Amino acid sequence: MYFIATHRELQFVLGRGGKIRVSENHSSFVPILTIDSLTAVRGYNLLFQGLNFKLQSGQFAALRGPNGTGKTTLLRMIAGFIEAETGTIEKVEEYRERGPFYLGHDHGLRASETPLSHLTDWADIHYSPRSDIPDILERVGLTLRQHVPAYSLSAGQKKRVALARALITPRLLWLLDEPASALDTAGQALLCELMKEHLDEGGAILAAIHDDLELTPDLVLDLGAFA
Amino acid sequence: MFSTFANPHRFLALSKWLMPLFAVLGAIIVATGWAWAFFFVPEELYQGATAKIMYIHVPAAMVSLAAYASMAVCSLLFLTLKHSIADVAAKSAAPVAAALSFICLVTGSLWGRPTWGTYWVWDARLTSMLFQLFLILGYMALRSAFQREQDAARAGAILCLVGAVNLPIIKFSVEWWNTLHQPAGFITLGGSSYAPEFYWPLWYNLIGIGLVFGALMMAAMRAEIFNRQYEAKLARMNRSAA
Amino acid sequence: MSEPLTGQVNSGDIFIWASYIISAVTLGGLALWTAGKLTGAKKRLNMLNSHETEKTSED
Amino acid sequence: MMRNGVAAIFRRELSLAWAGGSGLFLPAAFFAGTIFLAPLGIGPEPRLLAASAPGLIFVALCLASLTTLERIFQADLEVGALDHHRLSGLSMELATLAKVAAHWLVSGLPIALLTPVAAVMMRAETVTLQSILPVFLGSITIFLWGGIGASLTAGLRRSGPLVALLILPLFVPVVIFGAEELNHVLTGQGFGAGLGLLAANSLAALAISPFAMSLALKLE
């Protein structure tokens, strides 16, 4: 067992088998993500301004708004890829100064990489044990195709590899940009399962979703309101 | 881009009167300086009349080096303190620095033709000026390759700083290379050991070219700020209309 | 430019003229280009401002 | 253990370059091609060829490395893998250095090892294994400065020629000192001082380029 994240003297303990368990002696809600008066600009048009938002541990927030209102920009800003014009984003400090788990539109697999090689490299890069890769592959249903190079994998299969990445290096904050796209019904069921598990263990999720998954969000952030 | 536009008003107010002053003053000084050098300076001992080209070549070289140095300083300011005015300054100084480097190279080779017999000599200063011109053109090309202004600014600033670090290295290595390949007794491009009647026109022209550089840079900066304000206002209007 | 690009040259005057003219043309060209850019930018901004004031005065 | 963190990025980059197959020996082939064509242009006269050998070898080295430099970061950026490197908690400086090192090992080193062959083809007098040293050090500097050019233009679509324009001036010291040193080696004179200067160049590049590269890549 080792600590996964610390937040003002509260410790989040990583249980055996990679599960996150919020330690007993804590108040139930720990702030994972706090945004205040955030402004975002793309080129010269203003996407949103004065955005305030708070996400607690165990909460699932749905990010809504028509296309082009800056959902992806907001997620990438929280992940730290884009600098905010004004306003601040405060995230819980993850284990080993990692960033949050970011699942974007592109899957991050080079053409000649196989699921197994990609996940092994991913585990090594993040100092995670390689031992649990086989059953994670089993969990996302890629055991049969673990040696197939990426150029002959379907978009859905590559998205499952991306989901497997979240299991190999557990992190508290998940940022999902239309996670259900390219997934078949079985894939979407798997996605919901993983999200439910993550929330039960004290993690938080901010996801830009259109079609409503079975999982009902605890709160909704509509970017249209901040345009 | 919004918040950082507060302070350009100070610059706009300052340059509103400073830029025309520099422009007029610079034009007068350069015109008279060139005339002075062209008509009145007596024949130089062994270079003959061609020494007159020095009065364009040396000021252009000095001011273009100063221009690249100011671009590097502005790039450093932009990267560390995110002053968007510093980025506007660096972007506006580039064309002037390129023009002056070009003038320096052309006048240098024109001066070389009668003196050394060929248009191009791998003299250390000429060669490093050539590579400075390459770096500036690269800077301008890199900046225009990006759609978003922030990416262009950041990439340009990094390249400018890397270039600034390398220019002295290039100058040293070409100088060292020159001593190896060049036969002895080579006339260097003129130092400052001039007799007084040659000395003053050189300083006079230097001030003139310096003022012209200041005027051109400020004009380009004002144009750039107006452009950015125009686009920002246009975007705001589209959004309020949408 | 029939004669070779290197070798001994007798009168140096042509080169003095050439360097003065080329420098004047380059600096002049740059000044005109910058002035054009400046007036263009100013004009567009003013046109936008006047458009905006006239729009706000309407609605 | 050497397996985790930045070493993993280095290993991943190596295996990807290796698996790329044809792309692997492109720089070495480019280098060999230039060296093969040059005598046809310069003429077979041995003394002339030997005199131009060092300079030509270094120019060919510069141009050959340009062919792969552009792909160092672009390949990862395209598929979105660069985002994960930013989130991995590893210092971007070390990560970019590891990527450049992997690419150098795959393309820069083979060129250095080819130098004796190129020297023989250019009819140099004394071709020894030491002739690898100047090109070895030179290629390190070239890949480090080139890495900066690659990181600056990673986000652009067709940026190949732009990378060349940006960083060719940075290769000037390498070509000057390298060719001079290679000349000493190939003509059997004493060498070593020039190697020091070349090493100084690569150390300067090693000190500066990781920060410039990570600065260019860190923010969008």
Q: Does A70 touch chain D (CB under 8 A)?
A: no
pLDDT for D143 beyond 70: yes
Tokens 């990781």, located at residue: D210
**pLDDT confidence of residue B148:** 80
- Cβ–Cβ gap B234/A85 under 8 Å: no
CB-based contact A168:A122 (threshold 8 Å):
yes
- Distance from C-alpha of B225 to C-alpha of B209, rounded to nearest angstrom: 24
Distances (CA, A) of A2 to A19, A27, A57, A132, B53: 11, 21, 19, 16, 75
Scan residues 115-134 of B and list those with Cβ closer than 8 Å to C: 117-119
Q: Out of B34, B48, B216, whose CB is closest to C34?
A: B216
Residues of chain B in contact with residue C7, where contact means CB-CB under 8 angstroms, are: 117
The pLDDT confidence band at residue B185, using thresholds 50, 70 and 90, is very low
Pick C33 or A151 by higher pLDDT: C33
Please tell me which residue of chain A has the smallest CA distance to B4: A85
Cβ contact, residue pair B177, D156, below 8 Å: no
Tell me the CA distances in angstroms from A168 to A95, A125, C11, one per residue in order: 13, 11, 80
For residue D192, give the amino acid letter: G
- At B42 the pLDDT is 64
Measure B173 CA to nearest chain D CA, in Å: 6
Among D86, C11, D80, CA closest to A103: D80
Structural contact between residues A167 and A135, judged by C-beta atoms closer than 8 angstroms: no
Average confidence (pLDDT) over A37-51: 79
Q: How far is D119 from chain B (nearest CA, A)?
A: 22
The contacts of residue A69 (CB under 8 Å, 6+ apart) are A47, A48, A223, A224, A227
How far is residue B99's CA from residue B143's CA, in Å, rounded to a whole number? 17
Q: How far apart are CA D174 and CA D219, in angstroms?
A: 31
Task: Give me the pLDDT at residue A9, please.
Answer: 46
Compute the distance between CA of residue A4 and CA of residue A60 in angstroms, rounded to an integer: 20
pLDDT at A112: 86
What's chain D's average pLDDT?
A: 88
Quickly state the pLDDT bin for D82 (edges 50, 70, 90).
confident
Rounded to a whole number, what is the distance in Å from the CA of A43 to chain B's nearest CA? 6
Residue B98 confidence (pLDDT) above 60: yes
**CB distance from D13 to chain A under 8 Å?**
no
pLDDT interval class at C56 (50, 70, 90)? low
Does the pLDDT of residue A143 top 50, yes or no? Answer: yes
Instruction: Name the residue in chain B with its Cα closest to that of D158.
Output: B145
Residue of A37, A39, A41, A44 to mutate, interface with B, max B Cβ within 10 Å: A44
Label residue C9 by pLDDT band (50, 70, 90): low
Domain boundaries, chain B: 24-42+50-181+190-217
Question: How many angstroms away from the CA of B149 is the closest CA of chain A?
Answer: 7
**Buried b / exposed e along C7-43 (16+ C-beta atoms within 10 A):** eeeeebeebbeebbebbeebbeebbeebeebbeebee
Judged by average pLDDT, the poorest of A45-49, B129-133, C2-6, D51-55 is C2-6
Higher local confidence (pLDDT), B169 or B68 = B68
Q: Is the CB of residue A115 less than 8 Å from the CB of residue A148?
A: yes
Say if CB B102 and CB C26 are below 8 A apart. Answer: yes
Q: What residue in C sits closest to B60 (Cα-Cα)?
A: C23
- Which strands make up the sheet holding A31-42, listed edge to edge? A45-56, A31-42, A86-91
Which of A81, A97, A98 is the closest to D83 by Cβ? A81
Tell me the chain B residues in contact with residue C26 when contact means C-beta distances shorter than 8 Å: 99, 102-103, 106
Average pLDDT over residues D2-23: 81
Q: Tell me, what's the pLDDT at C1? A: 47
Task: Look at residue B3 and tell me whether its pLDDT is greater than 70.
Answer: no
**CB contact A86 to B (< 8 Å):** yes
Answer for the pair C48, B81: CB distance below 8 angstroms, yes or no: no
How confident is the model at residue D41, as a pLDDT?
86
Burial class (CB in 10 A: 0-12, 13-18, 19+), A74: buried
What average pLDDT does chain B have? 83
**Contact predicate A63/A71, CB 8 Å:** yes
- Report the greatest alpha carbon distance in chain B: 74
Q: Is B60 in contact with C23 (CB distance < 8 Å)?
A: yes
Please give the average per-residue pLDDT across D195-210, as a whole number: 93
Provide the 10 A C-beta neighbour count for residue B78.
24
* Confidence band for B184, pLDDT divided at 50, 70 and 90: very low
Residue D101 has pLDDT above 90, yes or no: yes
Shortest Cα distance, chain C CAs vs residue B140, angstroms: 15
Contacting residues of D for B166, CB less than 8 Å apart = 145, 169-170, 173
Above 90 in pLDDT, residue D61? yes
pLDDT > 70 in chain A, percent: 85
How many Å apart are CA B78 and CA B125, to the nearest integer? Answer: 29
Answer whether C5 touches B (CB < 8 Å): yes
In this complex, how many residue pairs, one in chain A and one in chain D, have their CB atoms less than 8 Å apart? 77
Tokens 């246009």 label which residue? B234
Q: What contacts B20, CB < 8 A, 6 or more positions away?
A: B215
- Give dist(CA D216, CA A80) in Å, integer: 14
Q: Contact, A44 vs B232, CB < 8 A?
A: yes
Stretch A132-154: mean pLDDT: 88
Residue B6 is predicted with a pLDDT of 44
How distant, in Å, are the alpha carbons of B145, D72, D160 from that of D152?
11, 11, 11
Angle at C38 (CA atoms; ends C36, C42), nearest 5 degrees: 120
| Lowest-confidence segment of A19-33, A70-84, B10-24, B155-169 by average pLDDT | A19-33
Residue D198 to residue D181: CA distance in whole angstroms:
9
From CA B227, how far away is CA D173, in angstroms rounded? 40
What is the three-class DSSP state of A14? strand
Q: Does B233 touch chain C (CB under 8 A)?
A: yes
- CB-based burial, B111-131: b 16+ in 10 Å, e otherwise: bbbbbeeeebbebbbbbbbbb
CB pairs under 8 A between B and C: 100
Write out the DSSP string of D134-172.
HHHHHHHHHHHHHHHHHHHTTTSSS-HHHHHHHHGGGGH
3-state secondary structure of D176: helix
Rounded to a whole number of angstroms, the distance from the CA of A66 to the nearest CA of chain B is 14
CA distances from A123 to A3, A71, B237, D174 (A): 17, 29, 49, 39
Per-residue pLDDT band at D175 (split at 50, 70, 90): very high
- Considering only the beta carbons, identify the residue of D12, D19, D88 that sits closest to A126: D88
The pLDDT of residue A64:
85
Give B1 to chain A, closest Cα distance, Å: 7
Looking at residue B192, its pLDDT comes to 44
Closest CA to D146 of D84, D67, D76: D67
Q: Tell me: pLDDT of C28 over 90.
A: yes
B118 touches chain A (CB under 8 A): no
Of the residues B82, B158, B162, the best mutation for testing chain D's interface (the one with the most D CB atoms within 10 Å of its CB) is B162
> Hey, what are D106's tokens?
């795959």
C6 vs B: CB within 8 A = yes
Sign for the pseudo-dihedral over CA of D55, D60, D63, D65: negative
Q: Is A42 exposed, middle or buried (0-12, 13-18, 19+ CB in 10 A)?
A: middle
> Which chains pack against D, by 3+ Cβ pairs within 8 A?
A, B
pLDDT higher than 80, residue A201: no
Average pLDDT score over chain A: 81
Which residue in the block uniquely carries the two structure tokens 């051109």? Answer: B216
Strands, sheet with A101-103, edge to edge from the N-terminal-most edge strand: A101-103, A173-177, A204-208, A60-64, A219-222
State the pLDDT at residue A202: 76
Integer distance in angstroms from the first to the last C-alpha of chain A?
45
A56 within 8 A of A203, measured Cβ to Cβ: no
Closest-approach residue (CA) in chain A for D1: A127
Q: Where are the alpha helices (DSSP H) in chain A?
A: 71-79, 115-125, 133-139, 155-168, 185-200
Q: How much of chain B, in percent, has pLDDT values that exceed 70?
A: 83
The mean per-residue pLDDT over the stretch B216-226 comes to: 94
Q: What is the model's pLDDT at position A43?
A: 67
- Taking 60 as the threshold, does the pLDDT of residue A8 lie above it? no
Does D199 score more than 80 pLDDT? yes
Close Cβ partners of A185 (under 8 Å, ≥ 6 residues apart): none
H or E element: which one contains B229?
A: helix B196-241
A54 beta partners:
A34
Query: Chain D residue with minimal CA distance to A124?
Result: D4
What is the structure's pLDDT at A17? 41
Question: Is residue D86 less than 8 Å (CB to CB) from chain A?
Answer: yes
Contact B219 C5 (CB under 8 A): no
Residue D59 neighbours by CB distance under 10 Å: 16
- Contact yes or no for B174 and D172 at CB 8 A: yes
pLDDT at position A85 is 76
Q: How many CA atoms lie less than 13 Å away from A76 in the CB half-sphere?
A: 19
